[in-house]
Each structure stands twice: as C-alpha cells, then as structure tokens.
Amino acid sequence: MRQQAVEQPRKNILFVTGTRADFGKLKSLMRAVNQDPAFKCSIFATGMHLLKKYGYTLQEIHKENFSRVFPFFNQSTATSKLMDIVLAETIKGLSFYVSENPTDMLVVHGDRIEALAGAIVGALQGIRTAHIEGGERSGTIDELIRHAVTKLSHIHFAATAANKRRLMQLGEFENNIFVIGSPDIDIMLNGDFPALETVCADYEIPFREYSLFMYHPVITELDTLKKHIHEVVEALKDSGRNFVVIYPNNDAGSDIILEKIQELQENERFRIVPSIRFEKFLVLLRHAQCVVGNSSCGIHEAPVYGVPTVNIGSRQKNRFDYKSIFNVREDREAIVSLLASLPDRCEPVYTYGRGNSAELFLNILHGKAMWEAPLQKSFFDLI
C-alpha cells in the first residue's frame, strides 16, 4: 500500500518594520512570501508606524491586505529622545510576541533600533534571523547599529558584492551571505504607479516642478543640529525652487528639525507632509528635479531614476557614490550655489539591483542551505 506524502507545515516568516522607509524596502519580500503557499507572512509593526504625527503609516501596511499584522507601541512620544528606552521596549514587545507565535525566521532590515531589537530577540530566543542590506557604510549611529545587527544575525541578504565582502570582514561565513540587491528596486522598476496628477491631488501639492527635501538628525552631531538645519532651510528659501518637504524620522533631535520646518508652512513654494505612501513617493521621486537633504533615498533610490541628489552633511558618509550625487556641507551659500548648477538628469544606475530581489529571496527560502545554517554562530577568520 502506497504511503501518502506528508504535507510540510508552512514556515512562518516574521518581518519587523518600524518606519515608512524600511516597510518600503521590505514590501516586495513580504508580498512574495505572502503569496507563496509554503510560507506564512507575519508582520510586527512598531515605531513610527503607530505615531499619528508621522501619518500613522500602519494603515499603509493594512492597505496591502496582509492578514497577520501585529501592531506594537514602542514609545509614548513622537520623538525618540531616549532611543535606548525605545530599544528596550521593542525587545520586550517582540519577545512576548514570538513566545506566543512560533516563528521559523525573523527578518529585519538595515540600521534602525527596531532592527537591532529584532536581532537581539532572534539571537536570545534561538530564532533564525535574516538581515537585509547589511554591510553598508554610512555616518552617524546607523553604522554602529547596522554592524551590531550583522553580528547578531544568522543569515545575510546583501545588496551588493561589495557589501558581501564587508560582511565577511566582520567574520560572517560566505555560505550564509546571499546577494539579492535592494528589494525596493523591485517596486521601483516593476511597480504599478498612479499618475503624477493623482499623487499631487492626493497630497495637495500645488506645483508640478519641484524638488524633494528630507533631512534627518545626525545623532552624533546634535550639538550643531540647530545651526545646520537653519543653514539648510535658509538655503532652500534662497534657491527659488519649489519643494515637497517630508518629515524627518523620529530619532533624537527630530523636534529641532520639525520646529525649523514649520517656518515654511505659510510659504507657497513649500508643501510639508508627514509621510507619503511608498508607490506615490516613487512617483514624486521619478518626476522630481532633485533630492535634497541627508536621506539614504538620495543615495540608493534617486540614482536608479537618474534624479540628481544634493547630499548634505555627514549622515551618508562613505555610502555609494555616483555622478548624480553631489556632496555639500551644511552651508547656506554652498547649497544655493550647488542647487543652481545641477544637471537636469543623469544616466540611471543599477548597482543595487534590477528588480528581481524578491525572486532571489524566495529561491533561497525554498532551498536547504539557509535552513541548515547553524544557529550557533562562530567567527570566520579571513587569515
């Protein structure tokens, strides 16, 4: 008598997201896992997603029709003045969640404290933890957090071969590192986008020629933040350009930036919005004259569309460089001068992938190598 094949239980893949930005990065992977019958897609949504001041972007996750979303408040105020306390609260909430919900793999992205919390919980509870986009270089506290997440994670989905080499320099085994590109480029190159007119109407943007402005706190430079944001905003005023201004992240110091930004509220050349849905943001990015500020968007995403970037200050120090990226210090005259001399467009570049990250990610999840990697980590010595 022939035995029937035993159906394998679906593996539960838990994604941790704390910001509009990392959700955009993870979305294509979430969609792929959610549509695959071999897996269950679960989402632990926390951080800025639950803050009304930043647009309550939890609703954007629900709009994607993910059925297993767990919201968790990790802070009581809109600004993370005590980021270590927020880290502790996130660890506590996520720990309780995975204790009650068996998880086969925990997925974190980048260099935020929510990612660090996820990696800590995964390491201490023996849950296979995958880190997306490790091995990057940058300025401020992000660099420390990113590499700490790397050392706590078991599996690495790097964006580039250069990042893979850095992960190996950190002592990670090559067999546990997979290069898949940046997952958000899947959506950038293959997404279903609304028209620019629709996006502008949705967010009450009165102009069609505009630049994007995003400026975040640099944790290691809080003593000069007030001076820096003053120089930057005054330069925007002097430039004569129209700007769509998007709120900073909620790291310590964001209140200083928000206070200065509010001066632009009544200026007809500026439209200030707390947050923009990812696909609609990409429409604005594609049609923007340039990206101004210190967001990683100007380094990772803008070059894919050939949009020039005015990268201000040290926050993205040592990141990817390209001919569309123009670096400048926080100096009013220098910024105005640079804005006046930018090219209209540059050639697109695909260093971070060509839009097939989710496919590569799923192929690895379906294979055996990743699941057989030991949870007991050891250090790989290059010598």
User: What confidence category does residue 2 fall into, taking pLDDT thresholds of 50, 70 and 90?
Assistant: very low
Of the candidate CATH numbers 3.40.630.30, 3.40.50.720, 3.40.120.10, 3.40.50.2000, the domain formed by 190-339 belongs to 3.40.50.2000
| pLDDT reported for residue 250 | 87
Burial of 119 (0-12, 13-18, 19+ CB in 10 A): buried
> Could you give the CA distance from residue 314 to residue 311 in angstroms, rounded to a whole number?
9
Q: Quick one: tokens of 47?
A: 């951080």
pLDDT digits (tens, 9 = 90+) for 141-184: 889 999 999 999 999 999 999 999 999 999 999 999 999 999 99
Phi, psi of 211 (to 5 degrees): -120, 160
Identity at 37, one-letter amino acid code: P
Q: Residue range 182-188: average pLDDT?
A: 96
| pLDDT reported for residue 383 | 73
Q: Which of 181, 176, 164 is nearest to 357 (CA)?
A: 181
Q: Quick one: tokens of 333?
A: 């005259």
| pLDDT reported for residue 37 | 96
Q: Please report, rounded to a whole number, the percentage of residues in the chain having pLDDT higher than 70.
A: 97
Return the beta strands (E) in the chain as ranges: 11-17, 39-45, 69-71, 105-109, 128-132, 155-158, 177-179, 211-214, 243-246, 270-273, 291-293, 309-312, 325-328
Q: Quick one: tokens of 173?
A: 């085994």
Question: Model pTM?
Answer: 0.92
pLDDT at 118 over 90: yes
Q: Residue range 35-39: average pLDDT?
A: 97
Question: Do 245 and 264 contact (CB within 8 A), yes or no?
Answer: yes
| pLDDT reported for residue 142 | 87
User: What confidence category does residue 96 fall into, taking pLDDT thresholds of 50, 70 and 90?
Assistant: very high
pLDDT at 292 over 50: yes
CA dihedral in degrees (20, 68, 40, 373; nearest 10)? Answer: 60
| pLDDT reported for residue 382 | 85
Q: Please report, rounded to a whole number, the percentage of residues in the chain having pLDDT higher than 90.
A: 89
Return the beta strands (E) in 151-265 as ranges: 155-158, 177-179, 211-214, 243-246
| pLDDT reported for residue 83 | 86
The residue among 52 and 228 whose pLDDT is bigger is 228
Q: Residue range 301-321: average pLDDT?
A: 95
Q: Residue range 90-102: average pLDDT?
A: 97
Query: CA angle at residue 250 from 220 to 139, to 5 degrees?
Result: 30
Strand order in 291-293's β-sheet? 270-273, 243-246, 211-214, 291-293, 309-312, 325-328
| pLDDT reported for residue 120 | 98
Q: Which of 53, 70, 153 is nearest to 110 (CA)?
A: 153
Please give the distance of CA 260 from its chain centroid, rounded to a whole number. Answer: 24
pLDDT at 5 over 60: no
| pLDDT reported for residue 78 | 59
Q: Residue range 32-59: average pLDDT?
A: 95
pLDDT at 341 over 60: yes
| pLDDT reported for residue 76 | 75
Helix (H) or strand (E) holding 164: helix 161-169
Q: Which of 145, 160, 114, 156 is nearest to 319 (CA)?
A: 160
| pLDDT reported for residue 318 | 87
| pLDDT reported for residue 1 | 42
Question: Do 23 and 64 contact (CB within 8 A), yes or no?
Answer: no
SS3 of 129, please?
A: strand
pLDDT digits (tens, 9 = 90+) for 52-93: 888 899 999 999 999 999 999 998 765 556 889 999 999 999
Q: Residue range 229-257: average pLDDT?
A: 96
Q: Residue range 337-360: average pLDDT?
A: 96
| pLDDT reported for residue 7 | 65
Domain boundaries, the chain: 11-181+355-372, 190-339
Of the candidate CATH numbers 3.40.50.300, 3.40.50.2000, 2.60.40.420, 3.30.1330.40, the domain formed by 11-181+355-372 belongs to 3.40.50.2000
> Could you give the CA distance from residue 139 to residue 134 in angstroms, rounded to a whole number?
14
SS3 of 279, please?
A: helix
> Could you give the CA distance from residue 178 to residue 183 in angstroms, rounded to a whole number?
13
> Could you give the CA distance from residue 82 to residue 53 in angstroms, rounded to a whole number?
18
Antiparallel, parallel or unpaired: β 325-328 and 309-312: parallel
Antiparallel, parallel or unpaired: β 105-109 and 69-71: unpaired
From the CB of residue 5, how many other CB atoms can be counted at a distance below 10 Å?
6
Asked if the domains at 11-181+355-372 and 190-339 fall in one CATH topology, the answer is yes
Phi, psi of 281 (to 5 degrees): -65, -40
Q: Residue range 332-345: average pLDDT?
A: 97
Q: Which of 232, 260, 181 is nearest to 336 (CA)?
A: 232
In sequence order, what DSSP letters do the residues of 18-39 get, joined into one string? -SHHHHHHHHHHHHHHHH-TTE
| pLDDT reported for residue 81 | 65
Q: Residue range 189-204: average pLDDT?
A: 96
Q: Residue range 265-272: average pLDDT?
A: 97
